[in-house]
Structure 1
């Protein structure tokens, strides 16, 4: 009887250690996944205006391919500043660049709907070659709008592309479905596989615990 009790205790301790291990692994997986999703957009703040930059697809533009960039402008308190209320201009520089150097590209801005934002500034951009670029967005309030003038500088890394231009999302077309599709296609396999292994590990630990109790009886 003593031998069976000791064996049960061994199984119980092993099961508890196994459950702690897979639980910690699960927490680590969720943390890494959330960190990856949170890093998708770039955010800058100037005076009383904040700006969030997102570039389709997946904040990973490629040289020679048309990408759509949009800027979610918000005032303190979260109120959106649409393009209709802002004299905004976008200038793109290849890095490094000198002060006073003319912009490489000056895309025209147009109102777009993205996520929960309506009519915010957006532009179709084709970066000529891989490298680091600076996207400079400046803006002043139009008549009736109430916010301070701003200037935001966003650093963007452009990867090598195949030179095939993709059709951008049209003006004033909601791009939520496009963003969801791109995010799902780029979602890491390990973020799905590890939770599955975690569940199986916990189930195995519980089975071992029950087996140990049965041996003790």
Structure 2
């Protein structure tokens, strides 16, 4: 009877450990103060660069009570690794309540990791007026696989002339204008002597007629 009791106790312990370890193995779990957090990223905790990944953190207090987003002044930040102390976050996605089969209204966000590599997701929070838990900060390591390559077409560079180039262009334009005006003048000038000659002959004819009349 005693042997049977020990066996049942051992089986119960193994069953309990199996139930508790399985979620930990499937997701990353962190604890700070009296709040624990479980991170999950779609799809299957395998985010890809350039693709939107729905991310959620199941926050629970000691005893297993869920901390929903409506009870938490939470914010989420994404940092590249290795992370430098005092560095600004690479991303600060907006949080939204997410409901799953196990959790309702937990903090979540849509995150687009810019490239493959290692990152840290940090969620921090303080309790709202109707909540009772200590301020916390949880950091989760994330590995992002290669995904879409976003190809961007660079705009054609705008050519901006330097002042010297502008002066040269203005000088060339002025020279061209002077050449055109000179050619026009050359085409017009040969007619001017003919006009002057005609006027002179007409004047001589008039003068001769006047003198003839006087005789």
TM bin, normalised by shorter chain, reads 0.5 to 0.7
Q: 1:38 to 1:100 in 2, by over 3 A?
A: closer
1:144 Cα deviation from its structure 2 partner: 1.5
1:116 Cα deviation from its structure 2 partner: 1.1
The answer to which structure, 1 or 2, has the higher relative contact order (CA under 8 A, 6+ apart) is 1
Take 2:137 and 2:22, find their aligned partners in 1: how far apart are those partners?
Answer: 27
Q: State the TM-score, normalized to the length of structure 1.
A: 0.58
| Match among 114, 119, 128 for residue 114 of structure 2 | 128
Q: Which residue of structure 2 lines up, in the alignment, with residue 114 of structure 1? A: 100
| Match among 74, 77, 84 for residue 63 of structure 2 | 77
Q: Which residue of structure 2 lines up, in the alignment, with residue 151 of structure 1? A: 137
- Residues 71-99 of structure 1: per-residue CA shift (max 9 Å, x gap): 00001111100000000000100111211
Q: 1:162 to 1:73 in 2, by over 3 A?
A: same
Check whether the contact 1:40–1:58 (CA below 8 A) recurs between aligned residues: no
Q: Which residue of structure 1 lines up, in the alignment, with residue 33 of structure 2? A: 47
Take 1:131 and 1:122, find their aligned partners in 2: how far apart are those partners?
Answer: 21
Does 2:51 match 1:62? no
Does the residue aligned with 1:154 lie in a helix, a strand or coil? strand
Q: 1:158 to 1:113 in 2, by over 3 A?
A: same
> How many equivalent residue pairs?
131
Take 1:108 and 1:67, find their aligned partners in 2: how far apart are those partners?
Answer: 13
Take 2:149 and 2:57, find their aligned partners in 1: how far apart are those partners?
Answer: 25
Take 2:148 and 2:22, find their aligned partners in 1: how far apart are those partners?
Answer: 26
| Match among 101, 118, 124 for residue 138 of structure 1 | 124
Q: Which runs of 5+ in 1 are unaligned?
A: 1-34, 165-217
Q: Select the structure of larger CA radius of gyration.
A: 2
Q: Cα RMSD over matched residues?
A: 1.9
Q: Which residue of structure 2 lines up, in the alignment, with residue 104 of structure 1? A: 90
Check whether the contact 1:65–1:163 (CA below 8 A) recurs between aligned residues: no
Q: State the TM-score, normalized to the length of structure 2.
A: 0.58
Q: Which runs of 5+ in 2 are unaligned?
A: 1-20, 151-215
